[in-house]
Structure 1
Amino acid sequence: MDNRTNLDDYLAGLGISGADDVETPPPAPEVAAFPASVAEAVPEEPSAVLERFLQGLITRIDPTLTVQVREGEDALEAEIGGENASRLAGRDGRTLGAIEVLAYTVLAKQAGRSDLRVRVDVGGFRRRQADTLTRLAERLALQVAKSGEAHELQPMPPAERRVLHIALKEHPDVTTESVGEGAARRLIIKPRHA
C-alpha cells in the first residue's frame, strides 16, 4: 500500500489531481508487509487514516515536516510540526482550514466516520490564534459590562466563534450568542442581566 497511490486516490476522489514530479519516500515496512486483501479486510482506526493522509500530504509539501495525531475529547487532533510548519497555515489560516476540510472528507470517506471532528494545527498557529481571540473576548466583555450595550463582531468561522463562546462561557457579566446563517454567522456579546 503506497502513500503516493493512496494520496492520489484521495485527491482524485475529491477532484484534485496530484503533482507527478514530486518524489515520495517508499512505504513504511509495516505497511508494505500487509497483503492488500488483509489490509482491506481489517477496518482502520480513524486516527491511522488521518495520520496516513496528513503524512502523505505534508511529504509532498515539505518532507521535513512531521505529524502527530491524537484523540481529543470531541475531535481527532493533529499537530504538524517542523521548522517551516507555520508557513503551512497560509494567509489568515486559509490553507490550514482547507487541509482540515480535506482531512475531514478523507476520514468520512475512508473510515466511514463523518461524526468525528478534525482539528489540525501547524506550528502552533491555532493555539496562538485561540490565545489572541481569548484576549479579545476578555477585552470586549469588559467593554460590554461597562457600557451595558451588546457588541456584535464581524462574521467569522465556526472554530473562532467557538473559542469566543468558551472563553466567555463562565463570565459573570456577559453572555454570547451566534446569529446569522452560513458565512455571515457572527457572534454577539451581550450583558448577562439585561
Structure 2
Amino acid sequence: MDNRTNLDDYLAGLGISDADENAPPPPTPDAAPTAMPTLEAAHEDPKLVLERFLKGLTARIDPSLSFNIRENEDALEVEINGEHAAKLAGRDGRTLHAIEVIAYTVLAKQAGRADLRVRVDVGGFRKRQADTLAKLAERLAIQVAKSGEPHELQPMPAADRRIIHMTLKEHPDVMSESVGEGAARRLVIRPRHG
C-alpha cells in the first residue's frame, strides 16, 4: 500500500493538494490572520467543515475518539475525548498545534474563513499547561522582584507567552515583554520601575 497516495487522496478530500503549493503558507503562531484566497464556491458553514475534518481525522487515528465543538466570536474550540485522547497532545502540545494549523487551513479553503482560529484540547491538556505557565510566571515574578535582575525564558509559542503576559499584567513589581522574531521569540520578565 502506498502511503503517499493515501495521504494525497486524504488531503485532496480536505481541499488541500500539491496544486496548492503556490498558496500562502499557514500562519505562524505570532502572525495576525491575513486574508487567504478562497475558492468561489468555498463558503460552507465553518463548524460543519471543521466537524467533517475532525471526523475524518479521528476515524483514521482512533475511531473510539469523540469531539465537541464550541463556537466563540473569534474561534472554534474543540475538545477531543476518549480513552487514548491524551496521546494526541504530543510532546509539549506539538501534535495539538499541528492539528490546529491543518484545521485552520481547511477552514480557510473550504469555508472562506481565514479570520477564524481553531483551538484544540484533549483531556484538559491546555488548561493544565496554562495553570503550569501561570505558576511559573508567579515564581519567576518573585525571583525577579527579589533579585532586581530580568529573567529571559526559552523561546515559546505565542499562546504560552500570552498566558504569562496575562498572569503578570497587573503585577506591582514586575512586567513582561516579548523579544526576538519568529520561532526564536521569547519572553523577558523585568522589574517594574516606578
Fold-level similarity (TM above 0.5): yes
Residue 42 to residue 189, structure 1, CA distance change in 2 (3 Å):
closer
Tell me by how many angstroms 1:127 deviates: 1.1
SS in 2 for 1:80: strand
2:60 corresponding residue in structure 1:
60
Please say if 1:82 is aligned against 2:82: yes
Residue 11 to residue 42, structure 1, CA distance change in 2 (3 Å):
closer
1:13 corresponding residue in structure 2:
16
CA contact (8 A) 2:15 2:106 kept: no
Aligned length: 165
Residue 82 to residue 167, structure 1, CA distance change in 2 (3 Å):
same
2:140 corresponding residue in structure 1:
140
Q: Which stretch of the first structure deviates more once superposed, 6-15 or 149-158?
A: 6-15
Amino acid paired to 2:185? R
Q: Following the alignment from structure 2 to structure 1, what is the Cα–Cα distance between the partners of residues 142 and 136?
A: 10
Q: Following the alignment from structure 2 to structure 1, what is the Cα–Cα distance between the partners of residues 73 and 147?
A: 37
Residue 109 to residue 135, structure 1, CA distance change in 2 (3 Å):
same
2:169 corresponding residue in structure 1:
169
Q: What's the C-alpha RMSD, in Å, of the aligned pairs? A: 2.2
1:160 corresponding residue in structure 2:
160
Higher relative contact order structure (alpha carbons within 8 Å, sequence separation ≥ 6):
2
- In structure 1, runs of 5+ residues without a counterpart are 1-5, 16-39
Tell me by how many angstroms 1:125 deviates: 1.1
Residue 138 to residue 119, structure 1, CA distance change in 2 (3 Å):
same
CA contact (8 A) 1:161 1:186 kept: yes
Residue 41 to residue 10, structure 1, CA distance change in 2 (3 Å):
closer
CA contact (8 A) 1:7 1:53 kept: no
Rg bigger for which structure?
Answer: 1
TM-score (norm 1): 0.77
Report percent identity of matched pairs: 72
